[in-house]
A and B are shown apart, each in its own frame.
Chain A
Amino acid sequence: DAGVIQSPRHEVTEMGQEVTLRCKPISGHNSLFWYRQTMMRGLELLIYFNNNVPIDDSGMPEDRFSAKMPNASFSTLKIQPSEPRDSAVYFCASSFGPIEEAFFGQGTRLTVV
Chain B
Amino acid sequence: AQKVTQAQTEISVVEKEDVTLDCVYETRDTTYYLFWYKQPPSGELVFLIRRNSFDEQNEISGRYSWNFQKSTSSFNFTITASQVVDSAVYFCALSGVDSNYQLIWGAGTKLIIKP
Asked whether A103 lies within 8 Å of B102 as measured between CB atoms, the reply is no
Asked whether B91 lies within 8 Å of A43 as measured between CB atoms, the reply is yes
Asked whether A98 lies within 8 Å of B91 as measured between CB atoms, the reply is no
Per the bound structure, the CA–CA distance linking A43 and B35 in Å amounts to: 14
Residue of A43, A93, A103 ringed by the most chain B CB atoms within 10 A: A43
Q: Which residues of B contact A109 (CB under 8 A)?
A: 43
Asked whether B107 lies within 8 Å of A102 as measured between CB atoms, the reply is no
Given contacts A99-B33, A101-B50, contact A43 B44 (CB under 8 A): no
Nearest CB in chain A to that of B106: its residue: A42
Asked whether B95 lies within 8 Å of A101 as measured between CB atoms, the reply is no
Asked whether B45 lies within 8 Å of A101 as measured between CB atoms, the reply is no
Total number of A-B contacts with CB less than 8 angstroms? 41
Chain A residues 31 to 54 lying within 8 A of chain B, measured CB to CB, are 42-43, 45, 48
Assess whether B61 is interfacial by the CB under 8 Å rule.
no
Given contacts A98-B95, A98-B101, A99-B101, contact A104 B108 (CB under 8 A): no
Assess whether A14 is interfacial by the CB under 8 Å rule.
no
Query: From residue A4, how far is it (CB to closest CB) to chain B in Å?
Result: 9
Residue interface mask A41-71, B partner, CB < 8 A = 1: 0110100100000011000000000000000
Query: From residue B90, how far is it (CB to closest CB) to chain A in Å?
Result: 13
Asked whether B45 lies within 8 Å of A91 as measured between CB atoms, the reply is yes
Assess whether A111 is interfacial by the CB under 8 Å rule.
no
Asked whether A56 lies within 8 Å of B50 as measured between CB atoms, the reply is no
Name the 8 nearest CB pairs between A and B, nearest first: A98-B101, A104-B45, A101-B50, A43-B105, A106-B44, A101-B47, A99-B101, A45-B102
Please list 14 pairs of residues, one from A and one from B, whose beta carbons are closer than 8 Å in the complex, sorted by A's number: A42-B107, A43-B91, A43-B105, A48-B102, A55-B100, A98-B100, A99-B33, A101-B35, A101-B47, A102-B103, A104-B45, A104-B46, A106-B42, A107-B44
B interface with A by C-beta (< 8 Å): 33, 35, 37, 42-47, 50, 91, 95, 100-103, 105, 107-108
